């Protein structure tokens, strides 16, 4: 069984043991062990015959088996033990089961050898005293059983080493190689057998390293410190490869060991500290960006070229500049997600949000009811910025603050927050003037769009759109963003945010593809929802002059605006998440950080390609900014998205469709765990990058705070949104 390495830490015990008692008759000895199990909190089964014992063992696979060896007339304890062990061996491939036999006192003098030969590892001399039974169990648990668990944990860790894509080498304290993993073999070109048992000094070294490097490393290790840095290793074929190597001394019972990791270019930046707190924090965000955990191959390639440029002559460095240029603008950015994530929450989120469902195609048919876009029932209702009801206007007073409470507005305006907030924000940004459109048209348009959001969705309703619009407007006011974008970009961003999830059915792309929905058929299982949101937005807008906000635009300008809106709505698709984030980091964060000293950043900020990247990142961050909102708002959003996922799982079960995200089952889901995974996997790196660009200390503070909140609940093993009342 896979066990957490934490098990190896002293003081930690494996989960409650499962014990099998094989006693032909219920007597005081049998009862003593039953009681002891109960007191020790072990689960326990009792079998009266060898057949029942084997049956039960096959099914439950106990950690500890206690067999009554006192009366040979009932059954042959030794052959039963052998059979149990055999089953255990077939199930696990190794013999580590713990068997205890219970003997009569008059056998105490006899040798234990026959028992050991049959597979028992311990003899317990008949003693029905409950405390004696209990003590025996406790000693077994703390001693041999725990040792077996540790061995199994080691086995799990070695499996992980074998699967790791990083090259790992372990030596003993005399620098004799004990182990190299398959990644090491394939990167370095050696076979295990050629290395194990050799001293590392016997393996050829590259001449490219500075002469004193090995001495530096050795003195570091001798002090028990870790060493990390660039090292040239020599492959078997003689080639030198530059690697980022980490060497860690392992102090343990067996002495000191070294562990060398190669292959990953996880560059730790040593940026200088600025004088004010904000620039320090942004530097640390930058440093984290450099060590992004989910690193795409292209990022590694760019880092290698950057490092090579430093020591290259001018013409080579310039040629490499052009190489970088090309690499930055191609589609090689998605990280490798083939390997299975350990954590089921991350796994399900990645599977559910980042694939189109092709992995789990089913033959089941489920067609979404085809329907015409909604016409808002209250189009005729007069509504302008001037006649927003005062109690609604009041809830929008601090609309320019990040801590603005969208749920107050949602309640005050009877679930029409998009129209009201839209009117206010669009007016603040002069959108009607830019589009040359009357305010009445904008109002009808907002109402028309809002009417096509499903108020029955718990998350993807018009409050989510209003929330994303709010975040978008907030980001647009940040100094760096203003320097980068033009007014047409701002208008595109506000419109894209407003429409980005219109007519969302409250189900994920994977679900629609699995169900063979009309939309999935229409869009070939590719970016189904996002394509639909963008297309429907333009249908709603242009089919009726009354709400066509683009009607008075000049043709070319309309085309540019339309393209920008479509690009941003499509950028909210999660399958492209890492591509967008990595492009932003490589083309914007890193060049900006490199240039910061000289101050000439304008070129980077305003190039057309980079403006597109800024807009994509902006809407993406706005779209999933709920983990960066003040705690109460963050909790409410987490509750809503979880409920929507639960409803999808319910429906998948009802319709016998594949369950796309099994952890989102309302009966078993841990919401804190799911939020921790979502933040770890999608949010942290993205907001580090966005913060390094736009400077968002308050968001990062909330994110930190919220993450700790979910961790706190999870540590208390709570599954709910909030702790139970005191």
Q: Which of 66, 412, 635, 638 contacts ligand AMP by CB under 6 A?
A: 638
Residue 428 beta carbon to Zn ion: minimum distance, rounded to whole angstroms: 22
Q: Does 626 bind ligand AMP (CB under 6 A)?
A: yes
Q: Residue 464 annotated as binding?
A: yes
Choose between 103 and 468: whose C-beta lies nearer to ligand AMP.
468
Q: Is 678 near ligand AMP (CB under 6 A)?
A: yes
CB-based contact 680:611 (threshold 8 Å)? no
CB closer to Zn ion, 141 vs 501: 501
Q: Could you confirm whether 460 is annotated as catalytic?
A: yes
H or E element at residue 491 = helix 487-499
User: Collapsing DSSP states into helix, strand and coil, what is residue 65?
Assistant: strand
Nearer to ligand AMP, 122 or 500 (CB): 500
Stretch of 56-64, 273-281, 543-551, 636-644 contacting ligand AMP, by CB under 6 A: 636-644
- Answer yes or no whether residue 353 interacts with ligand AMP by CB under 6 A: yes
Report the residue number, 586 or 648, with the smaller CB distance to Zn ion.
648
| 136, 169, 348, 501: which one binds ligand AMP (CB under 6 A) | 501
Tokens of 650: 């319910």
CA 59 to CA 327: how far, in whole Å? 55
- CA distance linking residue 579 with residue 569, whole number of Å: 15
Binding range to ligand AMP, per CB under 6 A, among 167-175, 380-388, 443-451, 633-641: 633-641
Per CB under 6 A, does 514 bind ligand AMP? Answer: no
DSSP 646-714: HHHHHHHHHTT---S-TT--TTT--HHHHHHHHIIIIIHHHHHHHHHHH--HHHHHHHHHHHHHHHHHH
Cβ neighbours of 221 (radius 10 Å)? 18
Q: Which does 574 bind (CB under 5 to 8 A by kind): Zn ion, ligand AMP, none?
A: ligand AMP
Q: Which is nearer to ligand AMP, 119 or 627 (CB)?
A: 627
The CA distance from 410 to 310, in Å, is 55
| 489 belongs to the binding site for Zn ion (CB under 5 A) | no
Among 42, 184, 404, 637, binds ligand AMP (CB under 6 A): 637
Are 663 and 345 in contact by the 8 Å Cβ rule? The answer is yes
Q: Is 120 helix (H, G, I), strand (E, B) or coil?
A: coil
Does residue 623 bind ligand AMP (CB under 6 A)? yes
Sign of the dihedral defined by the CA atoms of residues 190, 196, 202, 208, in that order: positive
Please identify, using beta-carbon distances, which residue of 356 and 501 lies nearer to Zn ion: 501
Residue from 283, 460, 532, 533 carrying the catalytic annotation: 460
CB 376 within 8 A of CB 447: yes
Q: What are phi and psi of 3, to 5 degrees?
A: -120, 150
CA dist., res. 718 & res. 674, Å (int): 12
Residue 640 CB: number of other CB atoms within 10 A?
18
Residues ≥6 apart with Cβ < 8 Å to 437: 549, 550, 551, 552
Q: Does 649 bind ligand AMP (CB under 6 A)?
A: no
Could you say whether residue 190 binds ligand AMP (CB under 6 A)?
no
Residue keyed to tokens 């080498």? 169
Give the pair of three-digit tokens for residue 499.
Answer: 């429409």
* 461 known member of a binding site: yes
Is 186 assigned a ligand-binding role in the annotation? no
Helix axes 28-40, 130-140, angle to 10 degrees: 50
Binders of Zn ion in range 584-643 (CB under 5 A): 623
Query: Which uninterrupted H or E stretch holds 123?
Result: strand 122-125
Rounded to the nearest 10 degrees, the angle between the axes of helix 608-623 and helix 684-694 is 130
| Minimum distance from residue 349 beta carbon to ligand AMP (Å) | 6
Angle 138-139-143 from CA coordinates, rounded to 5°: 120
From 18, 62, 24, 39, select the one nearest 129 (Cα to Cα).
Answer: 39
Interaction between residue 624 and ligand AMP (CB under 6 A): yes
Element (H, E) at 256: strand 255-262
Is residue 525 a contact point for Zn ion (CB under 5 A)? Answer: no
Closest CA to 624 of 566, 580, 567: 580
Cβ proximity to ligand AMP, 517 vs 572, nearer residue:
572
According to DSSP, the β-strands at 98-103 and 64-68 are: parallel
Is 623 assigned to a binding site? Answer: yes
Give the three-class secondary structure for 448.
helix
Interface with Zn ion, residue 501, by CB under 5 A: yes
Nearest approach, Cβ of 305 to ligand AMP (angstroms)? 33
Task: For residue 348, state whether it binds ligand AMP (rule: CB under 6 A).
Answer: no
Name the segment binding Zn ion (CB under 5 A); options: 131-139, 219-227, 493-501, 654-662: 493-501
Residue 641 contact among ligand AMP, Zn ion, none, beta carbon within 5 to 8 Å by kind: ligand AMP
500 is in an annotated binding site: yes
Q: Is 257 part of any known ligand binding site?
A: no
> Under the criterion CB under 6 A, does residue 572 sit at the interface with ligand AMP?
yes
Return the number of the residue (449 or 638) whose C-beta is nearest ligand AMP: 638
What is the binding site for ligand AMP (CB under 6 A)? 353, 500-501, 572, 574, 623-624, 626-627, 637-638, 641, 675, 678
Annotated catalytic sites, by residue? 460
Question: Residues forming the annotated binding site for AMP?
Answer: 460-464, 501, 623, 675
Question: Residues forming the annotated binding site?
Answer: 460-464, 500-501, 623, 675
What is the binding site for Zn ion (CB under 5 A)? 501, 623
Question: Residues forming the annotated binding site for Zn(2+)?
Answer: 464, 500-501, 623
């Amino acid at each position: 069984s896979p066990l957490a390495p934490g098990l190896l830490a002293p003081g930690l015990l494996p989960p409650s043991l499962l014990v099998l008692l094989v006693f032909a008759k219920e007597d005081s000895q049998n009862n003593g062990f039953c009681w002891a199990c109960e007191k020790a909190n072990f689960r326990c089964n009792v079998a009266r015959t060898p057949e029942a014992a084997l049956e039960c063992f096959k099914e439950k696979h106990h950690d500890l088996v206690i067999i009554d060896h006192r009366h040979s007339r009932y059954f042959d304890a030794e052959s039963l033990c052998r059979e149990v062990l055999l089953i255990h061996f077939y199930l696990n491939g190794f013999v580590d089961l713990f068997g205890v036999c219970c003997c009569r006192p008059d056998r105490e003098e006899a040798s234990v050898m026959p028992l050991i030969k049959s597979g028992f590892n311990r003899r317990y001399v008949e003693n029905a005293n409950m405390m004696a039974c209990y003590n025996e169990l406790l000693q077994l648990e703390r001693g041999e059983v725990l040792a077996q668990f540790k061995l199994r944990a080691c086995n799990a860790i070695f499996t992980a080493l074998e699967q790791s894509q990083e090259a790992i080498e372990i030596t003993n304290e005399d620098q004799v190689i004990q182990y190299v993993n398959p990644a090491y073999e394939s990167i370095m070109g050696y076979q295990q057998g050629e290395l194990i048992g050799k001293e590392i000094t016997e393996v050829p070294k590259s001449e490219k390293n500075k002469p004193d490097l090995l001495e530096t490393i050795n003195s570091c290790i001798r002090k028990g410190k870790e060493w990390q840095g660039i090292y040239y290793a020599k492959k078997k074929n003689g080639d030198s490869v530059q690697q980022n190597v980490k060497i860690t001394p392992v102090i343990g019972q067996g002495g000191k060991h070294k562990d060398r990791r190669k292959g990953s270019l996880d560059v730790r930046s040593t940026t200088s500290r600025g004088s004010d707190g904000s620039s320090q924090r942004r530097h640390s965000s930058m440093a984290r960006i450099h060590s992004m955990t989910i690193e795409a191959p292209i990022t590694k390639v760019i880092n290698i070229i950057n490092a090579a440029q430093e020591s290259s002559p001018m013409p080579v460095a310039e040629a490499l500049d052009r190489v970088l240029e090309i690499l930055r603008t191609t589609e090689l950015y998605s990280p490798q997600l083939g390997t299975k994530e350990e954590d089921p929450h991350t796994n399900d989120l990645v599977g559910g949000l980042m694939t189109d469902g092709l992995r789990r195609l089913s033959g089941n048919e489920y067609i979404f009811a085809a329907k015409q876009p909604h016409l808002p029932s209250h189009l005729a209702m007069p509504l302008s910025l001037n006649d927003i009801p005062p109690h609604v206007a009041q809830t929008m007073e601090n609309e320019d603050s990040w801590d603005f409470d969208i749920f107050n507005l949602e309640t005050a305006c009877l679930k029409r927050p998009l129209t009201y907030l839209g009117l206010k924000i669009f007016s603040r940004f002069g959108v009607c003037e830019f589009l040359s459109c009357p305010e009445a048209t904008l109002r009808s348009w907002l109402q028309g769009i809002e009417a096509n959001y499903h108020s029955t969705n718990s998350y993807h309703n018009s409050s989510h759109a209003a929330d994303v619009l709010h975040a978008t407007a907030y980001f647009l006011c940040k100094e760096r963003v203003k320097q980068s974008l033009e007014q047409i970009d701002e208008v595109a961003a506000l419109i894209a945010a407003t429409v980005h999830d219109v007519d969302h059915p409250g189900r994920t792309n994977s679900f629609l593809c699995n169900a063979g929905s009309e939309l999935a058929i229409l869009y070939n299982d590719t970016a189904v929802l996002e394509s639909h949101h963008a297309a429907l937005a333009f249908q709603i807008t242009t089919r009726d002059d009354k709400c066509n906000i683009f009607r008075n635009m000049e043709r070319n300008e309309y085309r540019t605006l339309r393209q920008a809106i479509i690009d941003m709505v499509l950028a909210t698709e999660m399958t492209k998440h890492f591509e967008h984030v990595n492009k932003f980091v490589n083309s914007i964060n890193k060049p900006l950080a490199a240039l910061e000293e000289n101050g000439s950043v304008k070129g980077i900020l305003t190039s057309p390609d980079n403006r597109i990247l800024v807009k994509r990142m902006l809407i993406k961050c706005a779209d999933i900014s709920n983990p960066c909102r003040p705690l109460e708002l963050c909790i409410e959003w987490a509750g809503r998205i979880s409920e929507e996922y639960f409803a999808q799982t319910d429906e998948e079960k009802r319709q016998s469709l594949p369950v796309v995200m099994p952890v989102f089952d309302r009966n078993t889901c841990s919401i804190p765990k799911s939020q921790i995974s979502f933040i770890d996997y999608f949010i942290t790196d993205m907001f580090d990058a966005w913060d390094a660009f736009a400077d968002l200390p308050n968001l990062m503070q909330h994110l930190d705070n919220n993450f700790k909140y979910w961790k706190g609940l999870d540590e208390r093993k709570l599954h709910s949104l909030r702790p139970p009342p005191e």
